Every structure is written in C-alpha cells, then in structure tokens.
Structure 1
C-alpha cells in the first residue's frame, strides 16, 4: 500500500511507495471510510547482508571507471531524483520511501574486498566507492563500512575515487590524506544547489550546501584532490545555479568539474513528477516539457552517449554554459581527476618479483 503522497514524513524525500515492478501482484490504496493517519516521521530499518562479492563491473562508455564498490543498498539521504531508486525492486522493496528507510548493509564488505583484491589474477584500476548510493550516508557514522573499505584499499595501495554529498567524509581525512600522498585517491563532492530551502525538500538528509563547500575546502587544505559534480541539473529547478555552483566550488579549492542532466529511469519518473506537483505545481508542466525535449520526447533515454547529457536545444545550451564557466573559473576536465596511480598496488603478504 502506498502512503498518502500529499503528506511526506518529516526528513524524507517522498511518501510514495510504488509497487515492485517485478512482483506478480500489486496492491492499490483506496479510501474505505476508515480514517488513517500518515505518520509524521518514519524510522530507518537496517538489514545486514553477507555479500558473496563486492566489486561490481561495468562497461559503460559514459563512466570514468570500470569497477565500483557500494557498502549500502538504499540511501537515507532521500534525494528524490536518485537514479539508484529502481534497484531496490531487486530486493522486493519499493523504490519509493522503502529506498530511504529500508536499507541493506554489506556487513562483510572489508573481508570480501580484501579477498577479491588478493586474487592472483586481479589487475588494479581505480575503484569508485559509493557510486550507486552514498558511501557516507548517515548510517555510515555507526557502521563504518566505508572506513573499513578505505583501510583495506590503503593497505593494498589501491586507487579509489569517491563521490559524496556528506560532510561525514571529513571523519576519514587521516586515511584520505595518506592515500593522497601516494596519488591513490580523488573526491568529487556532489553539489546541486546553494539554496538550503531547496536542498531540504530535494535532498532532505544530505549535508547543507555550505557544509559541502566546507568539505571541499578542508579536503583541498589536506592535499586531497577534490572536484565538484553538479548532478543532477534539473530544468527550471536548479539549472540557473550552474555558474554559481562552479564558482563556489572553485573558491573552495575544487580543481575539476562535471555535470549530469536529470535522469528519470523506471519508477523515478513517477516519484519525481509527484514531488514536482507537491512542491512546484505552478511550473511542473514546464519542467517536464523541458525534460522531454532533452530526451527525444520521452522522460528518459537510456542510450549511451546521451543519457548523461541529453539532446536538443536546452541540453546544448546547458553544455555550452558548463564549458564556458569551467574555462572561466579554471577547472580541469573530470577525467584528469581519475589519473590515479595503479602501479603502487601491493597486496600484503604477496612477495613481489625481483625482475
């Protein structure tokens, strides 16, 4: 049953709970005359998983990495636009509020990661840590799975790239600084708006914009390569902030920049449209019209090469704005941030060849 979409629990991105698209049957809420109150808040539930493997591979030409590690499934940040929401359906959970409140933690992450890195045939290339869901979401403060993974990677001298919108990453500044000295780490901070009011309804449990700018500054001061990722850029919601976001990040020490146009795969489209209707009813139609213009008349286009940037006049103008602003503020290309050193890789206990 879906919660009443007109009343979002406090601190959550949505109240909707669309059915699992893989389920054989679906339930539908209806008014039976018995008044039921929607809870004003909803607690987070955590289940623990013994993962059989933790390094995921991909062949996408749109990404700057071919492998990733995700300590958690689901994300408490509650970002309404999150492209990872549909993955919750694979666990018989909803991409809606279940994605924000019913999380799965890989309790044996560090052990599995060490096993996979120690295999004789393993060849190192940078690992993207926490790409599907934020590795520094609030649950990490207690479980410390991300920190454990970084400890393994540092011990193996394995390069890693992190993307986060959490200030919790500063807790691990000791590890990140040590890795940076060996060119083993780079960080991209996701910054979508400088308007805290917008942040609160779009990314309810993520760090404030000012906190994310402070994270960039602290990382830069510690010698950790840091960049900004403006993702997603949403037409008529935050696209007008693009240049301001880049300027703020550059002033805080960010040296690389990237952006991604709003993506609405599977159930994300319905969740996002419901969110628009509740928070921006006067411009919801215009926003979705522009989204369709960038996606060939549809709400989403999954084709490689266009899914991250879109097409059409709006997408082209956005790309021009980004390139001009990046040049003006002196940013380097994002792919340069991936120039980490894989040659230092040294699994503990394995004797290196003499020749």
Structure 2
C-alpha cells in the first residue's frame, strides 16, 4: 500500500455508499487539494464511541452452517479493521457505511449486562451456550474503556450459564480470573482467531488486532489455566494465507489449542467493493490472482450466500483448502477434543445463588 496515501491503522480505505440510502458522501479531489494547500486535515481518522440502547442483547442465530444458536454483541462496529469481516454489512442497518464507518463509529451497549441478567433469570429460559462476539469482537479496543464484556462474564458466572467467546485480542487475559472460575464448572470455551503467522500479513489484513505472537501466547496461557481453546483459521484467503494452513495448525496445537476450525473467505454485500479497493492498493502485483481464486471458490463470484457451501466453497481450490485442514486435524489434533459446555447448572442458579430448597 502507498503509505503516503493510506489511512493509517485502518483496514478499509474508503466509505462505500450505504445501499439503504439514496444519497452518498464523496471525498472530492478538489477538496483534498484545498486541504493540502491549506495544511488542513481532510480526515481526522478518529474513533467515535456512540451509546445505543437496545431492548434485548441475545440474538437467536438461524443460519444452519454457523456453529452457534445464540449470540450477543456488546459493541456494533469493530476497531480491529479486518478487511474481510462479514459483519461490516450490518453497519448499514445503523445508517453507516460498511467501510471506514464500521471501524470508526463504534456503538456501545452499556446496558448489555443488565439485559443479559434479565434474560438468564427468566423461568422460560433454558441454558444453551451463548457466544460473545457472534458479530463483532467483544475484546476490541473499546472494551479497555467500557469493560462491558467483563461485566457480562460476571453475570454468566453468577448464574452458572455456559458462554463461548470469539476474539483475536490478548485483552481476554485481563479476565483470566473469571474465565478460570467459569472453567471449573466447564462453562467456558474460547475461540481465538489466528489468520496468519506473518506479521506483515496481519498488519494489512487486521491492522488493530493483537500481534500473532501475543495471540499464540494467549492460547498457551488460557490452555495452561484449564480453559479450552479452539483456534479459528478464518478466513482462509486463497493466495494470501492459504499456504499457511499446516504451519498455523501446528503452532496452534503446540500452544495448547484443543481444535481448529476454518472458513473460506466470501465477500458478501458491500465487502466485495471494499476488499477490491484494498487489495489493488495493498497487493497490486497479485490482486487479480487473489480475486480470481476467491471467485473460483464461489462459482465465479466473490460471494456465495447458499447455506452449506458459503463457508466451505466449491471447486478445485476450495477442495484443496478443505483437504489441507482435514490433514492438519489428523496430524496435529488427532487425540484432542474440544469439550462440550455444561448446561446442567444454570437452572439451580436462576436466582443468582444455589437453591437450597
């Protein structure tokens, strides 16, 4: 990427039009030239935290090929800036762009712990694993300030309710005390996303995430403390990180992970245009190759929304990727199994303490 024109610390390099809006905002060249001559900033590139007040916090996941039934998100938008993130499209429902807005307009749900507790106390609620970060990372930078994730973990512990976490941030270790307490009753599972062993690749794919070294160290520390970890090799992007499947699996296993999972990248909705703009600026020498190989995994398109094939792809390249992951499991995780979470305790703790009578 041209460092003179790149927007520092961001994945997306533009705001694509919101498909729900008739009008769009454009940064014109004459305005940029005016700013240059006047010595002014055309874009301050600041992150804004915006409070929102949803009525519920736990969502039922209807998709049959996502390994979760319920999810919750303390934040909407994600400062990590992963260029491929499928969740970017959801920002359009809030009136923002899936591009830079997704990384710089973060909606904060401060009432999430209270809403979660209300749900878990309902007599009609039956324990089922709730996944934190089904959409955006619950340990993104905003969590340092607001600590909503920590408060929610405290609620899960209070009511002995199973919870799973998806993250790519070492900040999770801040809450090691709560995670260990949950692990004593088999109430916690962590999914650490690691997409590459190359820091160069990480920096351009996921600019504000924890380093690969820190993520692997986090897997090791969690595992040593009895907290089961699954490593997400997701997404696999042909010609960018597809050659790293076996080394990634080996590193994950050596650091204590119990299993691995993967998806093949799909550029749904507005993400196709965001990704294409990014890759022509970042990897112009292989942009066409990467895009064509992604298309070969999805029937000639950058996206495939069909259940059953959208996550695994089809065609020769997808078949090769899926076979490599299968081989990695046999080679490095042959005798390892991610334990199922405990669903049996919650009913006894509906009132926040063990029922005595």
**2:72–2:132 contact (8 Å) kept in structure 1:** yes
Report deviation, 1:118.
1.1
Pair 331,71 (structure 1): closer, same or farther in 2 beyond 3 Å? farther
- Structure 1: unaligned runs, 5 residues or longer: none
Report deviation, 1:350.
7.9
* Residue 123 in structure 1 maps to residue 126 in structure 2: yes
* Residue 199 in structure 1 maps to residue 235 in structure 2: no
Report deviation, 1:32.
3.6
Pair 39,220 (structure 1): closer, same or farther in 2 beyond 3 Å? farther
Counterpart of 2:139 in structure 1 is 136
Counterpart of 2:296 in structure 1 is 293
Q: How many residues align?
A: 349
**1:55–1:113 contact (8 Å) kept in structure 2:** yes
Counterpart of 1:337 in structure 2 is 338
Counterpart of 2:24 in structure 1 is 26
**1:6–1:278 contact (8 Å) kept in structure 2:** no
Regions of 4+ moved over 4 Å: 37-41, 349-354
* Residue 45 in structure 1 maps to residue 48 in structure 2: yes
Counterpart of 1:266 in structure 2 is 269
Counterpart of 1:85 in structure 2 is 88
Q: Which residue of 176, 179, 183 maps to 1:176?
A: 179
Counterpart of 1:231 in structure 2 is 234
Report deviation, 1:9.
2.0
Q: Deviations over 1:190-244 (max 9, x none)?
A: 0001111111111010000000000000001111001210011001011111111
**1:73–1:133 contact (8 Å) kept in structure 2:** yes
Q: Distance in 2 between matches of 1:332 and 1:165?
A: 25
Pair 244,306 (structure 1): closer, same or farther in 2 beyond 3 Å? same
* Residue 157 in structure 1 maps to residue 160 in structure 2: yes
TM-score relative to the length of structure 1: 0.94
Q: Distance in 2 between matches of 1:46 and 1:65?
A: 28
Q: Deviations over 1:40-70 (max 9, x none)?
A: 7611100111220000001211122110010
TM-score relative to the length of structure 2: 0.93
Counterpart of 2:71 in structure 1 is 68
Counterpart of 2:151 in structure 1 is 148
